[in-house]
Structure 1
C-alpha cells in the first residue's frame, strides 16, 4: 500500500458521496459565476428594451386620429399647409424610414419632438417626472410598509378574526378600480356628502400663490386623496403576497427547532421566518418601484395631477406620437430595469437562485 493510500481517509457510511460538490447558485464558484449570471440578465434586459422600442413605434400608429389636423386647431387649412406640417415632423416619409429614424435617434437619447408642445419629448418627461415620483413614491413607501406589516401579522395569526378581516378588506380594495375609488373619495371628501364637509382639493397639485412652508403644506394637502387612493388599491397585493410566502415558511423544520431552543414566538417570526419569506415580496417591491416611475395614469387623470400619467393621457388624445412613444418607452424601461435589479439581488439573498 502506498503512503498516499494509507494517509487517505477511510470512507464510512456517513461520508459524502464522491464527485464534485453540488452547485449552490451563482455565488458558489466566486465572482466569475455571478458576473456570468449578471451578464445574462443584463443582456435579457437590453433585448427587452429593444422589443419595447419596436413595439411602441408600431402600436401607437394604430390609434385613430390625425395629429396633423390636431395641430391646425380645427382651422381650415390648405393642402399645402397640411403637407408642410407633415414634412416638418417627418410624417411624409415612408413607414420604414420613419422607423429607422426613430430607432436611431432613440438610441442616442433623442425621443423626438412633441407635436402639441413643440418641445423635445425628453424635456417634457423630465419636467413631469418629479411630480409623479412625489405622488407615487409617497404612496409606494406607505403601502409597501403597510402590506408587509399586516401581511406578516395575518400569516402568523392565520385563521383569527384579524386575519380574516385583513384578508377580506385587502381582496375587496385590490379588486376596486382605482379611478372609481378616486372619484368616490372626491365626492365624499372633496365636494362633501351629507354630514361630511369638503375637506380636500378636488384636483391639481397646488393652489398657487404659496411659498416656503405654506407651499409644502399646500402640496401635502393636495396629496392626501390621490395617495390614499393608491394605498387602498395597492397595499392588498403586498399583504397577500407576504402572507402567502410566510404561511409556506411556517411549517419549516428550522422554525420548530428555533422554538424548541426556547426562543420567543415574536423573535422566531422576526429573525427567522420573515427574512426567509421576503423573497417573493422583494420581487413585488421592485416591480412596484418600476411602476412608481410610470405613475398611475388613471389616478393622475382623475385628480388632475401634473405627472407622467396625466401627460400620457393627454398625449393619447391627440395622438402625439413622439410623446406617447417616449412615455411608453420610459414606463417599460423603468419596470425592466427594476426587474433586472431584483434578479441581480436574488443570489445575494438566497444562494439557491440561479442553480
Structure 2
C-alpha cells in the first residue's frame, strides 16, 4: 500500500500574509466596541429619563393636600368656583388624560403652569437656576479640590497622624446632617453666642440696598455660611474615595519601577499614582456636578437661599404639582446626564472599560 499525500488546505498561505487579517481583527473590534458602548449608555439614559417622567407624575399625587383650596387663599368659596379652578388647571380630567397631556407637553419642553405663581414652570426654574449654580457650583469646586488634595495626602502617608486626623474628621462631618450644621452655624456666626458676635447674615442672598461692586461683596457675604456648610459635609466623600483609590494603586509594580529608576517620591505620586487613582473619583465628580443643578434642598431652605432647592420646598408645601414635577424632572435629568457623560468619558481614560 502506498500512502496518499494529504491534499493541501485550500486558501491557506504561509508567512506574514496569513497573519495580516487576524492581526487587524482585534484592533477593528476594539474600535467598533466603543460606538456600541456609547449607544448602550445613551439608550439607558433615555429609558431612565422616561422612567423619571412617569414617576414624577404619579409620585407627587400621593402628597396630602388640595392645591385648589390653596389657590383660594383659605377663603370661603362656592362649589362652582372650586369646579372652575379645577377646569382651569385640568384637574377635573381623568387621571389617564392628565398623564398623557403631561407627558405630551413635557416632551415638547412645556412643564406646565405653576398653581401658586400662575407662571410657566420653565420660567420659574430658569429664574432660580443661576442662584443655585452660584451656591452649589462654588461649593462643588471647593470641596472637590479640598477632598482630592487631602485624600491624596492621607493615602500617601497612610497610617500617620495626618491620615488619622483627616479620615476621622471627614467621616465625622460627612455623617452630620447638613441642615443641623447649617442651623448651628447660623446660631454661632450669624446670631452670635457668648463672646462671638454675629458676623454673617442669617439668610437670604442679598441685603437689597447695594449696587455695583458693593452688591458683589454683599452676595459673597451671604454666601459664606451656606458654602461652608456644603463644603464641610461634602468634602469627606471625595476625600474617602480618593484615599481608597490611591491606596489600591500604591502597591502596583509600575510605582516600584518608577522608584527604582530614581524618581523622587513626590514625583512618583504626582505623575504616576494620582492620575490613575483619580479614575474612580471621576465618576463621583460627575455625579456631584449633576447635583449642582439640583441644589441642596435642606441647605437652601435653612439659609432662605432663593434657588431651586428652596423653590422645591415651597412647591411641596402647597402642593404645586406642575412645579414639583418639573423640578423633580430637572433634578433627576441633571444627575442622569452627568452620570452618562462620566460613563462615556471613562473608557477614554481607561481603555479596559467599554471594550
TM-score, structure 2 length as denominator?
Answer: 0.93
Q: Which residue of 2 aligns with 1:246?
A: 246
- Residues 253, 106 of structure 1: alpha-carbon distance in 2 compared, 3 angstrom cutoff: same
Q: Any idea what SS the aligned residue of 1:202 has?
A: coil
Compared CA separation, residues 28 and 145, structure 1 to 2 (3 A): farther
Tell me, in whole angstroms, the C-alpha distance in 2 between the residues paired with 1:37 and 1:174: 34
Q: Which residue of 1 aligns with 2:137?
A: 137
> CA contact under 8 A between 2:171 and 2:236: conserved in structure 1?
yes
Distance of aligned partners of 1:195 and 1:276 in 2 relative to their CA distance in 1, 3 Å threshold: same
After superposition, the Cα gap between the structure-2 partners of 1:329 and 1:251, relative to the gap in structure 1 and judged at 3 Å, is same
Q: Partners in 2 of 1:144 and 1:23 — Cα distance? A: 38
Separation in structure 2 between the aligned mates of residue 308 and residue 28 of structure 1, nearest angstrom: 45
**How far apart are residue 33 of structure 1 and its match?**
3.1
Q: Is contact 1:316–1:324 with CA below 8 Å preserved after alignment? A: yes
Gaps of 5+ in 2: 1-7
CA-to-aligned-CA distance 1:85-106 (integer Å, 9 cap, x gap): 0000000000000000000000
Higher mean Cα deviation, 107-116 or 34-43? 34-43
Q: For 1:53-202, list aligned pairs within 5 A.
A: 53-202=53-202
- Map 1:254-293 → 2, pairs under 5 A: 254-293=254-293
CA–CA distance in 2 between the matches of 1:73 and 1:47?
40
Contact 1:146 / 1:235 at 8 angstroms: preserved in 2? yes
Report how far residue 29 of structure 1 moved: 3.0
CA distance in 2, matches of 1:201, 1:28: 60
Cα drift, residue 40 of structure 1 = 1.3
Answer yes or no: is the 8 Å Cα contact 2:34–2:354 preserved in 1: no
What is aligned with 2:208? Answer: 208
> For residues 20 and 184 of structure 1, what CA distance do their matches in structure 2 show?
65
Distance 1:214 1:19 in 2: 70
Structure 1: distance between partners of 2:326 and 2:74:
26
Task: Tell me the distance in 2 between the aligned counterparts of 1:301 and 1:281.
Answer: 29
Q: 2:292 and 2:107 mapped to 1: Cα distance? A: 24
Structure possessing the higher radius of gyration over alpha carbons: 2
Q: Is the Cα contact below 8 Å between 1:28 and 1:351 reproduced in 2?
A: no
Which residue of structure 1 lines up, in the alignment, with residue 218 of structure 2? 218
Q: 1:243 and 1:77, CA in 2 relative to 1: closer, same or farther beyond 3 A?
A: same
Q: Partners of 1:297 and 1:23 in 2: how far apart?
A: 49
Corresponding residue for residue 30 of structure 2: 29
Alignment check: 8 A CA contact 1:136 1:296 kept:
yes
Q: Measured at CA, do residues 264 and 59 of structure 1 come closer, stay the same or move farther in structure 2, by a change above 3 Å?
A: same
Distance in 1 (alpha carbons) for counterparts of 2:146 and 2:29 = 35
Partner of 1:13: none
Question: Could you say what secondary structure the match of 1:278 adopts?
Answer: helix
TM-score w.r.t. length of structure 1: 0.93
SS of residue paired to 2:30: coil
Structure 1 position 28, deviation (Å): 6.2
- Superposition deviation, residue 38 in structure 1: 1.1
Offset, 1:131: 0.1
SS at match of 1:47: helix
Aligned residues: 344
Cα distance in 2 for partners of 1:279, 1:28 equals: 24
Judged with a 3 Å threshold, the aligned counterparts in structure 2 of structure 1 residues 35 and 8 are, in CA distance, closer, same or farther, namely: closer
